[in-house]
Amino acid sequence: MTLSEAKAKAILVLGENKAFQEKYHPVILDEHTKETEFGWVFYYQSYDFIYRGIEGKMLIGNGPIMIDKDFDLVFRAGTRCHIDEYVSAYMKNRGNLDAYECLVNSLP
User: Taking each helix axis from N to C terminus, what angle separates 97-105 and 83-92, rounded to the nearest 10 degrees?
Assistant: 130
Question: Measured between alpha carbons, how far is 21 from 19 in angstroms, rounded to an integer?
Answer: 5
Question: Measured between alpha carbons, how far is 95 from 106 in angstroms, rounded to an integer?
Answer: 18
Q: What is the pLDDT of residues 4-48, one digit of tens each?
A: 999 999 999 998 889 988 899 999 999 999 999 999 999 999 999
- Which of left, alpha, beta for 42 (phi over 0: left; psi -120 to 50: alpha)? beta
Neighbours of 64 (CB within 10 A): 21
Q: What is the pLDDT of residues 70-91, one digit of tens each?
A: 999 898 898 888 999 999 988 9
Q: Is the pTM of this model over 0.75?
A: yes
